[in-house]
Amino acid sequence: MQTDFLASPWWVNLLILIPLVAYLAWRRTGLFLTGGNLLAAAAFGMAFGMVESTVVVYLRAASGLLPGYKESLSDAARLSANVYRQDQLMVQVPATLLTVEVVREAATMIMLLAVAFLAAKTLRERCAVFLWTFAAWDISYYAGLWCTIRWPASLGTPDVLFLIPVPWLSPVWFPVTVSALTMAAVVLVRRKTASEAPPQTGGA
């Protein structure tokens, strides 16, 4: 049974180990990624997170779950704050739109994987770029929703993280924490390339 603090199904909670496992796997040899690689991947992730948050706003409006959106975003945020429950998505949104959501989620993963393959050459670096971009996308997604319609109201607000293969439910703090720690792990183990190293001055 899900609590207000834990994710559901139970195995979703194991995702909190991703930053630690990644750090331990990468710390010995480090990650050979340039600052430009990470900056470009983060920019893509953040921009795409904003696109995703916009899609969610459209989905809510199309499903009749965003009262006041025809007036202004502030009206939508004020009127929907107490009635919208993202964790009740499966019963509030028509089945046809849920099918579209599943397709969108699959397409999102493919896009993030494609960026990882384009940005790095080895499997370890590609995994790192994927997790880095995913984390930037995830944080930007929630930031975008909060900036537009003031949702989620708090980090304890329940959310549906994914629908594949079954609905993943958790409070917002969980994915945001995993994403932030994952980005920190990548930064901590990244090795600067020769082009990024400061120039050495010769002695007298």
Convert 41-61 into a string of H (helix), E (strand) and C (coil): HHHHHHHHHHHHHHHHHHHHH
All structural domains of the chain with their residue ranges: 36-193
Angle at 177 between CA 35 and CA 146, to 5 degrees: 90
How far apart CA 168 and CA 101 sit, in angstroms, is 13
- Cβ 60 vs Cβ 137: under 8 Å: no
For residue 2, the model assigns a pLDDT of 44
Provide the greatest CA pair distance for the chain: 76
Q: At what angle do helices 18-26 and 123-149 cross, to 10 degrees?
A: 150
The pLDDT tens digits of the residues spanning 38-96 come to 999 999 999 999 999 888 878 777 766 666 666 666 666 665 655 555 555 556 667 77
The DSSP letter of residue 154 is: S
